[in-house]
Structure 1
Amino acid sequence: MKIVHVVYSLEMGGAEILVAQLCRLQRAHGHEVSVIAYSNLGTLGEALVAEGFVVQVLGEAPLPKTLTRFIGELRRLRPDVVHCHNPAPTLQAAIPARIAGAKCIVSTRHSLVAPPYNRGEEIAYNLVARCCDWIVGICDATCENLRHTPLALRNRIVRVYNGVDPVEPANAHPKEGFTLLFVGRLAPIKNLSMLLRATAAAKQQLPNIKLWIVGHGAEREKLEALSHELGLDGQVTFWGERLDVAAFFTDADIYCMTSFSEGLPMSLLQAMSVGVPAVVTSVGGMAEVVKNARAGLTAPVDDVRTMADAIVQIATNQAQRETFAENARTAYGENFTLDRMYEAYMNLYTRPRK
């Protein structure tokens, strides 16, 4: 089968990591896989090129020119499947894919799609998505929200949980104290100021608490200043963007996310694969998964006290921590492996649409 993935870029991010992993697995099963990026190659794109994948960057342009470029490229490639990732690539490539005669067109929404909706954007997406055979949400919350967007094609919306390769245990970082971990972009939507404040509150009962923040983004300087203001010097380490994240997950005691909005983050699934309990805010797919798996605790967005109490509860209750850890490993194996995601998408590529 000839498969083309369409993305905005292949810079480091959860959706982009998923696309790269899916490309590798599809090629390993004998399929011909390539990627078209609209904006730029990015770190992950460079890695795929080094591995022998064909990755094309069209370059940013007005929509009419972009549509023409996609029609030309897809007619040249003649793919069986065009898999668009997120709204912009769908708006740019779904119609050209239909014109080029692709047998199956899939659009995956990798975020929560939480209300209040941008009505104009969702109408435009749902009109173009009429060219798609399937619209995929990466958790039940995403699918449910998609069904309530204006002009939604409800009978074409299906859930495919994200999948990731399991983290290979690797101890590489000197570790002292009880360690919290966050891996991801340092962006406003991640609400990391809440995590810093919760860490400071938990420190009153856990004086040996540590927090590792792995990732980069525009918020770093602001967060470093807040960490200092909260008296967390020596407790918080900002590691920057890292490709070698296995040791962080292996050595962490709790995985924490305090996002305002979130789909189903890859980093949470990576943590679950090695049995790291989670404390997350009660939003989107991450709360859905943590609750259903009984793999940790949740707290309302911006409820610092409840977040801190959850951290302390897990830290001081070894039996509960071990139960959460075992539940996390079990849920990962049953629902969130890369092979399960691969099988779900391959079945979708050949399933007649409703």
Structure 2
Amino acid sequence: MRVLMLTDYFAPHSGGGVERVVLELSRALTGLGLEVAVVTLAAPGAPRAEILAGVRVERVGALSLTPVLGLQSAFAPRLYGRALTFCARFRPDIIHAHNIFFVASAVAPWLKMRLGVPLVTTMHLGSLERLDGLHRWAARLYEVSVGRWILRHSDLVVAVGDAVRDHARSLGVTPDRLITIPNSVAAPPARVPPAGVSPTGYPLTPPRVVFVGRLIVNKGPHLLVNAAGDVLQKDPRVEFHFVGDGPLRNRLEAEVARRGYGRQFRFWGLRDDVPDILSSATLFVRPSLLEGMPLAVLEAMVCGVPVIATRVGGTAELIQDGETGWLVEPGDARGLATAILALLRDPPQRRRLAANARNRAERHIGWDAAAAHLRAEYARLLGKAPPARRPA
């Protein structure tokens, strides 16, 4: 069975959650005996074509619109033609598009109609209601037009969590075409804590607050910078570490410099040692305005780092407030600062939350089950297994 994955971004040349989900699923499906190829957009420093972990990758040139719009978006006029040419060689049995907001997903229905093969679409995001006015209006306009068109032409829609599933239903996806396959997470490698770090992974001094994610509006890094002001007034020892890149990076660095916080902030960019950075974190913070099933939150939980996150999308499916982490309201920088300070002052609470979070996250370790579920659904769509009505 040959599967063509479509995604605007793909690891390791981009560090967001969707691209890592696509990479891990592709690896696991390859391990199950499927042939998997990925068509994605070009990335700085990435070759036009390569093979990663047995997965064929084809990249197409594109113009990023993210710096202009503030939301992930690109213009790729050659994408459909290049994808069609690639398909003539690869001959996929299944097309699997990821994230209805990606331009690669917008060409998926055209490829389906041209090739006559089933289309699977994974929705990675839930409700847009917490985005600010202009971003919410633009994203919603796209979602109810192009997004619904993609979903209408999809033979199967995969939601990464219950909140995303509910949102898919609100967009008109019928239960017989909708399943839920939660995101998984790789087990963190065993390691000896670095110097100055406790055996449980907490830095002895100074306290470190870590953010991991794309530096875009809907992940909320600007809210953490705003909250940091209140935190540093009360505890000037605290360091803030940002892992990831994106169009907000220059603006965030300029704002940090303007406020005179330069010594307390570190912008790491894309890293391949995220578990090591997490292992030295006192707290992990994810102040998102929009989420599906956040991979970075799962990674922090499985690494045993206490989490403060916002009550959006599937985050509340991972974080039971007060038990496996703390939840704050999206957009509330002052409330975020209060939560950070409270947990920094309460080591026993941090240890309790971290232990509970690690236990909760263990059920998500490993991508084999998710890949096996997908393989069964692919086979059903191809008529190689008896159809069965499944609860979404």
| Same fold, judged at TM 0.5 (above) | yes
Distance 1:46 1:24, change over 3 A: farther
The answer on 1:166 being equivalent to 2:187 is: yes
1:23 match: 26
Match of 2:126 among 109, 112, 127: 112
The equivalent residue for 1:96 is 111
CA contact (8 A) 2:290 2:312 kept: yes
- 1:292/1:345 Cα in 2 relative to 1: closer, same or farther (>3 Å)? farther
Distance 2:159 2:60 in 1: 26
8 Å contact 1:114–1:142 — kept in the other structure?
no
Contact preservation (8 Å) 1:260, 1:301: yes
Q: Tell me, yes or no, if the aligned pair for 2:48 and 2:58 is still in contact at 8 Å.
A: no
Equivalent in 143, 149, 155 of residue 176 of structure 2: 155
Q: 1:64 to 1:321 in 2, by over 3 A?
A: closer
8 Å Cα contact 1:186/1:220 also seen in 2: yes
What secondary structure, in the 3-state scheme, does the structure 1 residue paired with 2:51 have? helix
Alignment of 1:29-178 (within 5 A): 29-37=32-40, 39-40=41-42, 49-59=51-61, 67=80, 70-71=83-84, 73-74=86-87, 76-87=89-100, 88-102=103-117, 104-115=118-129, 118-119=140-141, 121-149=143-171, 151-170=172-191, 171=193, 176-178=205-207
User: How far did residue 93 of structure 1 move?
Assistant: 2.0
Query: More displaced, 226-235 or 206-215?
Result: 226-235
Secondary structure of 1:155's counterpart equals: helix
Change over 3 Å in CA distance of 1:317–1:340 after alignment to 2 = farther
Of 15-24 and 298-307, more deviation after overlay is shown by: 298-307
**What is the CA-CA distance between 1:5 and the residue it aligns to?**
1.0
1:127 to partner: Cα distance = 3.4
Matched, 1:343 2:356: no
Q: Please, which runs of 5 or more residues in structure 2 have no aligned partner?
A: 64-74, 130-135, 197-202, 381-386
Percent identical across equivalent pairs?
28
Equivalent residue letter for 1:81: I
After TM superposition, give the deviation of residue 89 of structure 1 in Å: 2.7
Task: Assess if the C-alpha contact under 8 Å between 1:63 and 1:92 holds in 2.
Answer: no
Distance 1:69 1:47 in 2: 12
- State the AA in 1 paired with 2:5: H
Once the two structures are overlaid, the 10-residue window that deviates more, 301-310 or 179-188, is 301-310
CA contact (8 A) 2:98 2:121 kept: yes
Which deviations, in whole Å up to 9, do the C-alpha atoms of 1:88-125 show, x marking residues without a partner? Answer: 333312342354343x4310122234246634643443
- The answer (yes or no) to whether the contact 1:169–1:250 under 8 Å persists in 2 is no
Would the aligned equivalents of 1:179 and 1:212 in 2 still touch at CA under 8 Å?
Answer: yes
SS across alignment from 1:264:
coil
Q: Distance in 2 between matches of 1:205 and 1:142?
A: 38
Aligned residue number for residue 132 of structure 2: none
- How far has the Cα of 1:68 moved from its partner? 5.8
Contact 2:61 2:76 in 1 (8 A): no
Secondary structure of residue in 1 paired with 2:28: helix
Q: SS of the residue aligned with 1:168?
A: coil
The answer on whether the counterparts of 1:161 and 1:336 sit within 8 Å (CA) in structure 2 is no
Q: Are positions 1:242 and 2:271 aligned together?
A: yes
Residue range with higher mean Cα deviation, 76-85 or 157-166: 76-85
Structure 2 CA distance, aligned partners of 1:350 and 1:155?
Answer: 16
Quickly say closer, same or farther: Cα 1:224–1:58, change in 2 above 3 A.
closer
Seen in structure 2, the aligned counterparts of structure 1 residues 58 and 153 have a Cα distance that, compared at 3 Å, is farther
Q: Secondary structure at the match of 1:312?
A: helix
Moved more, 64-73 or 118-127: 64-73
Which residue does the alignment assign to 2:7? 7
Q: Name the SS of the counterpart of 1:291 in structure 2.
A: coil
